[in-house]
Amino acid sequence: MIDWNALFKVSLGLYVLGAKDNGRDVGSIVDAVMIAANKPAALAVSCGNASYTKSCLEKSKEFSISVLPKDIDPFVVANFGFQSSKTINKWDSVEHETLNGLPVLKNALAHITAKVVHSYPLESNTVFIAEITDTANLRDDDNLLYEDYRKYFKNDVIKAFQQQIKEKNNG
C-alpha cells in the first residue's frame, strides 16, 4: 500500500513550466522537478499525460522553468495549474519575458531553460530528462514548496481562481 503522507516527505518546490506550441507560449504548474545530473547539468521533469504542455514539450523538445518565490501571487498558481493551455493563453495574464525564446515569469527567483534528451512514458506521467541550456539566478529569497501549497496556500489559490472566473463572467 502506498501512503502518500510518506511520499509527501520528499521535498519538492513549485515551478512554472514554460513551453512553445509552435509560436504560442504555453505552460503549467509542476512540482515534480529535480536536478538529475551535474555533468552535463540536467533536469528531470514529470508531466501528467493529460497535460497540454506535455504534448507541446514532446514536439518542441525544449522548456523553461521559473522558480516560484514564497510570496508569489496565488493567482499565478491558479492560472497555470487550474486550467489548460489548450484553450487559454496563460502567459497573457502574467508579467513575463523570454529566455532562449521561452517564456519565463518576471518575479521568479531563477530561470532555467533545458533541451529534452530522453523521455520515459509511465501510465500516468511522462518523465523528461533535459540538458540545461541556460540559467539566470535572480534573487535569493525563499522558494515556494509543494508542502506550503498543501499546508496553507491552496485555499488562497482556489480563491484567486474563483475571483478570476467571477471577473470574466462580469466583464
Ligand X SMILES: Cc1cc2nc3c(=O)[nH]c(=O)nc-3n(C[C@H](O)[C@H](O)[C@H](O)COP(=O)(O)O)c2cc1C
Residues near ligand X, by CB under 6 A: 14, 26, 28-32, 46-48, 51-53, 77, 80-86, 149
Residue number, 32 or 170, with CB nearest to ligand X: 32
The CB-of-71 to ligand X minimum distance in angstroms stands at 16
Q: How far apart are CA 143 and CA 71, in angstroms?
A: 8
Residue 27: alpha-carbon gap to chain centroid: 7
Only one residue has cell 497555470, namely: 80
Minimum distance, C-beta of residue 149 to ligand X, in the bound complex (Å) = 5
Closest CB 28 distance from ligand X, rounded Å: 4
Tell me whether residue 49 or residue 137 sits nearer to ligand X (CB atom).
49
Show the cell assigned to 53. 504542455
Beta carbon of residue 139, minimum distance to ligand X (angstroms, whole number): 21
Nearest 5°: the CA angle 56, 61, 63 is 75
At 43 the three-state DSSP class reads strand
Residue 41 or 160 having the CB closest to ligand X: 160
Bridge partner residues of 137 (DSSP): 110
CB atoms within 10 A of CB 53: 26
Q: Judged by CB, which is closer to ligand X: 83, or 164?
A: 83
